[in-house]
């Protein structure tokens, strides 16, 4: 994927187009808004108020990046009204309860948001007469995790131990059902809807302050001159900078627009094999880049279950979409930590500069 070709194709597909983003006030949603502005799209967002302070959405003046609607994804009537009024060319469905540990405390909310929220989005699209391309964002955790070194391909069994992972697997099954029942690729000339799903690995990047995520936990510890406590030091994850999967989602959406029958399916977006790191390695690299700090390992045998190893096979995205990650783990960590070091001066400029650098490489 040549840089010039990628940016030209993305701008050709998104400039002046209407893009509806659910979950736009979240970490990934806020970065996506900034990317869509960079590409010249007209964006409308639908989500709850930003959670916590600081908030990347507020730091980026998110209300100036899109037409923002603050509402619950479970409010089907409101969601339908907003989607139909906007008549989008693209829908990116990011709205979710996205934390594994929270899903143990709020399993019903997690299933309602992640499953029925997806159901409502797809139903609203089904009710529209306009041509539309949809990318449903789930997670790498949708697979029935065998805890082996094998990297999961898109055709492998779905599962999920915890409520979060299970709910996202359900969202994948639901999306596949809608695609087969209402949006069959071979019938595209009649319904004019193309629906794909995107399964991304663990994302890092500036502006994430979520609870129980390793980089936000690290930043909080560093800012308070405290020792970071690492819960699962030997867990292996497919770490990637947030711009990587977001570029994949946009690239997939562009391909859906150009050839809806060929690309309406599920795709993994993750790092290259050598960038699947243990949590301990990620922390050690981060502290080296930051220049100070310390950590201790404290494994709680009574803690809620979290996968020990999880890896994605991204060969389908590489060969079918000509997409591959641009930044290795060191670059991803450097960009992430540099963002936290400099955002207080000008968060908008810092974010825009990183987007421009990403697309320039």
pLDDT tens digit at each of 361 positions of the chain:
556 678 899 999 999 999 999 999 999 999 999 999 999 999 999 999 998 889 999 999 999 999 999 999 999 999 999 999 999 999 999 999 988 889 999 999 999 999 999 999 999 999 999 999 999 999 999 999 887 878 999 999 999 889 999 999 999 999 999 999 999 999 999 999 999 999 998 899 999 998 888 999 999 999 999 999 998 898 888 899 999 999 999 999 999 999 999 999 999 999 998 898 899 999 999 999 999 999 999 877 766 666 667 889 999 999 999 999 999 999 999 999 999 999 999 999 999 999 999 999 8
Q: Quote the tokens at residue 35.
A: 């990317």
242-269 burial, b at 16+ Cβ within 10 Å, e below that, comes to bbbbbbbbbbbbbbbbeebeebbbbbbb
Does the model's pTM come out above 0.75? yes
Q: Which of 105, 101, 108, 90 is nearest to 22 (CA)?
A: 90
- The answer to whether residues 160 and 146 touch, using CB atoms and an 8 Å cutoff, is no
Q: What's the first-to-final CA gap in the chain, in angstroms?
A: 11
Residue 272, by phi and psi: left (phi above 0), alpha (psi -120 to 50) or beta?
Answer: beta
DSSP 8-state class, residue 116: I
Apex 282 CA angle, 280 and 288, nearest 5: 100
**What is the per-residue pLDDT for 182?**
98
CA distance 314 to 154: 9
**Structure tokens belonging to residue 282:** 């990620």
Residues 6+ apart with CB under 8 A from 334: 289
């Amino acid at each position: 994927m040549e840089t010039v070709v990628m940016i030209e194709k993305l701008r050709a597909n998104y400039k002046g187009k209407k893009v509806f983003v659910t979950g736009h006030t979240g970490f990934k949603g806020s970065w996506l808004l900034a990317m869509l502005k960079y590409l010249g799209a007209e964006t409308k967002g639908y989500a709850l108020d930003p959670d916590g302070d600081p908030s990347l959405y507020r730091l980026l003046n998110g209300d100036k990046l899109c037409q923002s609607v603050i509402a619950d994804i479970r409010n089907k009537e409101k969601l339908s009204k907003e989607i139909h009024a906007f008549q989008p060319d693209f829908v990116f469905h990011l709205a979710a309860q996205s934390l594994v540990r929270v899903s143990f405390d709020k399993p019903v909310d997690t299933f309602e948001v992640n499953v029925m929220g997806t159901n409502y989005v797809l139903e609203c699209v089904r009710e529209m007469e306009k041509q539309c391309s949809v990318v449903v964002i789930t997670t790498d955790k949708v697979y029935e995790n065998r805890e082996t070194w094998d990297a999961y391909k898109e055709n492998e069994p779905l599962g999920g131990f915890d409520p979060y992972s299970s709910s996202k697997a359900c969202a994948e099954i639901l999306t596949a059902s809608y695609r087969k029942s209402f949006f069959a690729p071979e019938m595209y000339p009649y319904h004019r809807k193309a629906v794909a799903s995107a399964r991304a690995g663990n994302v890092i990047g500036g502006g994430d302050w979520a609870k129980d995520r390793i980089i936000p936990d690290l930043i909080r510890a560093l800012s308070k001159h405290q020792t970071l406590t690492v819960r699962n030091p030997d867990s292996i994850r497919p770490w990637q900078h947030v711009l990587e999967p977001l570029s994949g989602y946009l690239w997939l959406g562009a391909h859906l627009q150009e050839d809806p029958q060929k690309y309406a399916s599920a795709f993994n977006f993750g790092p290259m094999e050598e960038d699947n790191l243990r949590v301990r390695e990620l922390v050690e690299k981060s502290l080296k880049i930051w220049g100070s700090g310390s950590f201790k390992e404290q494994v709680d045998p009574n803690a809620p279950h979290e996968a020990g190893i999880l890896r994605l096979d991204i060969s389908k995205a590489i060969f079918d979409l000509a997409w591959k990650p641009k930044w290795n783990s060191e670059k991803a960590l450097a960009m992430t930590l540099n963002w936290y070091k400099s955002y207080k001066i000008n968060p908008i400029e810092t974010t825009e500069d990183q987007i421009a650098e990403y697309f320039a490489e």
